[in-house]
Amino acid sequence: MSLFVREAEVAGRIVDVRITGGVVTALAGKLRPTVGDLVVEADGGALIPGLHDHHLHLLAMAAAMQSVSCGPPAVTDGAQLRESLERAAEGLAPGEWLRGVGYHESVNGPLDRHTLDGLVAGVPIRVQHRSGALWVLNSAALRLVGPHLDRSADVERDEQGRPTGRLWRYDARLRDILGAQSPDLRKVGERLTSLGITGVTDATPDLDAAGRQIVVDAVDSGRLPVRVHLLGTPAPDAHTPGVTYGPRKLLLRDHDLPALDDLAATISGVHSTGTPVAVHCVTRESLLLTLVAIEQVGPLPGDRIEHAAVVPPEVTEWIARLGLRVVTQPGFIAERGDQYLSDVDPADHPLLYPYGSLLGAGIDVAPSSDAPYGPLDPWETMRSAASRSTAAGRIITPAERVSPATVLDGYLSDPETPGGAPRQVVVGAPADLCLLDDRLEQVLADPRAGRIRLVIRAGVVIDPRH
């Protein structure tokens, strides 16, 4: 059976579109549906390629959906944090852990085991900082995992050598210790497609074989109805339709940056396999270190900077000269901008999450969410990039504003070339599509996910309202 979309706006024209076998097979001003076609009346609404989020974390998203929110905007002070944790603790089965996410110091200051002990006693608790880099465990949790913690600098210890409860970049090791069950990615898939997203790049660093298999199985079974491009794991021998592999994700730990020679050697080793790198850079120092290392070993086409949260103007030309792409998160300006203005060095305020200046320098820039650590909704991201307004209405570097159409083009770029030419609805293209309720120009005047009528993935209609 074919899918027939009648009177859709495609590239500014009203056309009919036929989809067969998951591919666009015909596109013209007037076509006739055939017997058995499933007919969709577009009524002049725009038909565009499905959006691609170029940086998020699928397994963390699934876990966050089953966790307690511990930070803004849902939780803003210590009393609310205590109430949220106590309410969640009441529903726990014996021996079950309480898992919190999204914590920020503005709620109740720095967390450690003793702070958590004072909030809720008697149940094992672990709370993740909103950056995703830090887990904090209470004493009940440490009694269970303490014997299994390593002696690395990732386990913070007090003067007596006892763990403080603060574990840095410990996700995979905690999973190994706890023997956590595989997260169900079905709800993640439903949320993605409800936003018009039909493809994602998973940027989870050092994704182990077990984690990779969870994602691959979810795509293969249809529980995760999006294409997935993986950065944190090498490609296996077996190929799974809908799963591809990209640059090698390198995570720079801002509390423990590597030596230049070590980073250069790592990049050189990855390049020697013909694979580009995607380097996590959220500080001025990590960005400068990365650029020096890449210049030292020589760039490889496809090398990219993840986040580029702080970019001095004099560095922009350097990024352009090296031919690097940038995958950024303009949604953080709206969600966290007020906190940035409070916490970040004032000298860096004009440098936060640039977009317009990077494009002006000829750099390919792609938007993304960093979900669950950032806001997932791409339509909100378009509004944030266009306004550069914080939640309180403060404007951060208006010169970095870009139009919603520019951001949408970034979401439509291919996962292999983020920020490159946007994908188009043409004959022969995969039928991963998004039908809007009006012409594209009208939708982009006020971009919102509610303007999505339906999503098509591999030629199959997905109703975002269900």
pLDDT at position 465: 54
pLDDT of residue 330: 97
Q: Which of 265-269, 316-320, 327-331, 340-344 has the lowest mean pLDDT?
A: 340-344
Are residues 429 and 382 both part of a single domain?
A: no
Q: Is the pLDDT of residue 61 over 70?
A: yes
Same domain, 239 and 371: yes
User: Does residue 221 share a domain with residue 79?
Assistant: no
Question: 279 and 251 share a domain?
Answer: yes
pLDDT at 157 over 70: yes
Q: Are residues 394 and 427 in the same domain?
A: no
Of the three residues 143, 178, 213, the one that is the final residue of a domain is: 178
Q: To the nearest whole number, what is the mean pLDDT of the chain? A: 94
Averaged pLDDT for residues 239-246: 94
Instruction: Specify whether 361 is located in the same domain as 215.
Output: yes
Residue 390 in this model has a pLDDT that exceeds 70 = yes
> In this predicted structure, what is the pLDDT of residue 1?
72
The domain that contains 442 carries what CATH number? 2.30.40.10
Both 29 and 2 in one domain: the answer is: yes
Q: What is the pLDDT of residue 346?
A: 94
pLDDT tier for residue 464 given thresholds of 50, 70 and 90? low
CATH number at residue 113: 3.10.310.70
Last-in-domain residue among 127, 156, 178: 178
List C-alpha distances in Å: 232 to 5, 244, 251, 445: 38, 12, 10, 36
What number of residues does the chain have? 466
* Cβ pair 204, 61 in contact under 8 A: no
Q: Quote the pLDDT of residue 235.
A: 85
| 407 and 444 part of one domain | no
Provide the residue range defining the domain that includes 444. 1-50+423-466
Percent of the chain scored above 70 by pLDDT?
99
Q: What is the pLDDT of residue 466?
A: 44
Residue 111 has pLDDT above 60, yes or no: yes
Are both 442 and 407 inside the same structural domain? no
Query: Which of 258, 326, 325 minimizes the C-alpha distance to 292?
Result: 258
Cis peptide leading into 73, omega within 30 of 0?
Answer: yes
Contact 101, 62 (CB under 8 A): no
Mean per-residue pLDDT for 284-305? 97
Residue range 239-263: mean pLDDT, rounded: 93
Q: What integer is the mean pLDDT of 149-165?
A: 94
Q: How many domains does the chain contain in total?
A: 3
Does residue 372 surpass a pLDDT of 90?
yes
Average pLDDT score over residue span 433-449:
98
Which of the listed residues 141, 163, 178 is the one where a domain comes to its end? Answer: 178
Indicate whether 292 and 408 sit together in one domain: yes
pLDDT for the residue 42:
97
Place of tokens 């020697």: 272
Opening angle at CA 162, ends 161 and 163, nearest 5 = 120
Instruction: Using the predicted structure, report yes or no on whether residue 394 has a pLDDT greater than 50.
Output: yes
Dihedral sign (CA 199, 57, 271, 290): positive
- Across 402-406, average pLDDT: 98
Judge if 29 and 129 occupy the same domain.
Answer: no
- Does residue 396 surpass a pLDDT of 80? yes
Band of the pLDDT at 180, cuts 50, 70, 90? low
Asked whether the predicted pLDDT for residue 249 surpasses 80, the reply is yes
Percentage of the chain lying above the pLDDT 90 cut: 85
Higher-confidence position of 410 and 233: 410
94/13 same-domain check:
no
